[in-house]
A and B are shown apart, each in its own frame.
Chain A
Amino acid sequence: MEKQSDLLLDIQHLHTAYRLNGKFYDAADDINLTLKRNEILSIVGESGCGKSTIASSIIGLYDHKNTKVTGDILYNELNLVGLNENLFNKIRGDKIGMIFQDPLASLNPLMRVGDQVAETLYYHTDMNEKERHNRVIELFNQVGMPKPEETFQMYPFELSGGLRQRVVIAMAIACKPEIIIADEPTTALDVTIQAQILDLLEDIQKQSQSGIILITHDLGVVAETADQVAVMYGGQIVEKADVKTVFEHPLHPYTRSLLNSMPQSEDEEEDLHVIQGTVPSLQDMPRNGDRFAARIPWIPASAHEENPVMHEVEPGHWVRCTCWKTFHFQDEVGGE
């Protein structure tokens, strides 16, 4: 049995809709997720699947005029949906830290990086300027910054991509948040730096016992770091399980297609699997039936549920729709 306090975030029936040409469209459609302490939850899917929408809904950063968020995001029995901005500002940066994709764009070009990290401390702690400075140096050491004192005085343009992302991470963990949301934290970095940053995130998670939501489209990143995985397609979660199950025993056609389109170093000869078509835009997304059906046209319509729902096929392993039971890849039948 888990203790109640191990549950950090409980997302229930989250709908996030964006206004396009006067109409609202759900970019996140009935999302149910939980994040526990000491857990790395990975949300994975192609671009436009609604991964980042979930992140911005959790932290409450969206265009309030053109976005409608309904459902519950419970953090310690506090519902973050529709939370008052002043209260939310006490939680952002303090209880929830956020790491963004592009570390150059996510730092203010005209501010010394040390001051940018210290800014978080200014709003959430009682530290004076000197204490804040020392804490930033401590954080720079923690994130593996080579010359913390010198770096404090530098501007973002003077740092390399990897170092910038370390600054962003230092900023996110400055107040020892319980929840860290990392939105594609390694996408803008080159491969060697990617591995370092992921190791760093894992270390931080182990030290601070926090929960991390890792948003990525890179299954390699998922395999390396995640504990729990939620696969998203078209604004919905299509499969949810622990990382081992997802990689060894994937069920949903989308998950299987994604895994199949990953390069395997063993068989260099074999062509990579390509998922037909693209993710439909928000306006064109079918609202009824299986949203992935259009990209596996060789599967007969009768295989899909009329209104696909999540089924718990084994404890902790959830799959949307029943089409996985009869799903096969196109080339497996041959000649089609």
Chain B
Amino acid sequence: MWKTVLRRILIMIPQLIILSILVFFLAKMMPGDPFSGQINPNTDPKQIEALKRAAGLYDPVPVQYARWVGNLFKGDLGTSYIQHVPVTSLIADRAVNTFWLSLFSTVISYSIAIPMGISAGRHQDEWQDQAVQIFNYITLAVPPFVFYILGIWLFGFTLGWFPISGSISPNASGFWGTLGSEIYHIILPGTLVALITTTSVVQYLRTGIVDNKVEDYVRTAHSKGVPEKVVFNKHILRNSLLPIASSFGTVITGLLSGSMIVESVFSYPGMGKLFLDSIGQRDYTTLTALILIFGFLTLLGNLLSDIIMSIVDPRIRIK
């Protein structure tokens, strides 16, 4: 078990190196440099040239790469061209917001998807199953931004139940007041994200149950006189949860990339909105830093999936 985890973590090292090289060259290829934002018509081009040389922009590429990686380890992701603040501090606030939004929608998503998948799988082709399938088709077919805008229109404008933008109300104060306001702002976007991310989990679970129900080992369990309910929970359901465990990592990565759309629609100050804003403002340092972080989180998500798999499925453990 631990050997598998260790081996899996070691595999991540070359992945990280390749990721960092790719991101580094992406950054190099982008136009502009740290001084681009500081030029005004009166600046002497020679002075800028001197500054660039001092900053090491004319050093050999491997040297630049090494320095960049060194800075990464020090937590220095560079300075935003546009906002003139360290990217690290720019991202830090946003990351916290995105983290809570993602956590909220993950929890809600699984708490909706698992009962739905079980119900559909258990009552295959009956009305419960058909209702779940219709729900799935709708959430899969409607583009997320349409879904969010409809949500804002219905629950924000028409019913006025939830705030429609931001992550906190400006007049929130005190610990509980702040927390309450933050949660209040997360509920609508978080739930809408959760609703449209249930599809894959529901389908995995439904198919798993439908397939496992007719497996020979289920018949064996019945032939031992194990009560129907126990056969379902202990044999069918447990084995059907495997694909869900393995997709857990990808779902989390999907939430991060999905956060771009929901955060823009809700003007929610998270990493996804920062990413889109950076593209719009051509803030390349911030952009590269975010690409690096998203890439790293994807690798982490996959690591998580594999670790979960090795816990739940004995067949893939390495001895």
Complex contact A109–B216 (CB within 8 A): no
The verdict on A123 contacting B224 (CB below 8 Å), with A109-B315, A155-B315 known, is: yes
Partner of A171, one of B216, B220, B228, B314: B220
A258 within 8 A of B: no
B67 within 8 A of A: no
Complex contact A93–B314 (CB within 8 A): no
Complex contact B238–A110 (CB within 8 A): yes
The verdict on A92 contacting B222 (CB below 8 Å), with A105-B217, A109-B239 known, is: yes
Number of contacting residues on B, CB 8 A? 21
CB of A251 to closest CB in B, whole Å: 35
Docked pose: A105 CA to B211 CA in angstroms? 13
Partner of B314, one of A59, A110, A172: A110
CB neighbours of B315 from chain A (8 A): 109, 155, 157
Docked pose: A132 CA to B312 CA in angstroms? 24
Complex contact A61–B222 (CB within 8 A): yes
Complex contact B216–A93 (CB within 8 A): no
Q: A74-99 CB contact bits vs B (8 Å, 1 = yes)?
A: 00000000000110111111100110
The verdict on A92 contacting B225 (CB below 8 Å), with A108-B235, A110-B313, A157-B315 known, is: yes
- Residue picked from A88, A97, A107, A110, most chain B C-beta under 10 Å: A110
Complex contact B219–A106 (CB within 8 A): yes
A158 — nearest CB in chain B belongs to which residue? B314
Docked pose: A85 CA to B230 CA in angstroms? 14
- Residue picked from A90, A102, A119, most chain B C-beta under 10 Å: A119
A135 within 8 A of B: no
The verdict on A106 contacting B217 (CB below 8 Å), with A92-B223, A93-B223 known, is: yes
Number of contacting residues on A, CB 8 A? 31
Interface residues of B in 289-313 (CB under 8 A from A): 312-313
A123 — nearest CB in chain B belongs to which residue? B225
CB neighbours of A25 from chain B (8 A): none
Docked pose: A109 CA to B315 CA in angstroms? 8
CB neighbours of B227 from chain A (8 A): 86, 89, 123
CB neighbours of A155 from chain B (8 A): 314-315
Interface residues of A in 142-191 (CB under 8 A from B): 155, 157, 168, 171-172
CB of B237 to closest CB in A, whole Å: 11
B59 within 8 A of A: no
CB neighbours of B226 from chain A (8 A): 89, 93, 119, 123
CB neighbours of A93 from chain B (8 A): 223-226
Interface residues of A (CB under 8 A from B): 59, 61, 85-86, 88-94, 97-98, 100, 102, 105-111, 119-120, 123-124, 155, 157, 168, 171-172
Given contacts A85-B228, A88-B225, 13 further A-B contacts (CB under 8 A): A92-B225, A100-B220, A100-B223, A106-B220, A108-B220, A108-B221, A110-B242, A110-B313, A111-B235, A119-B226, A123-B225, A123-B227, A171-B220
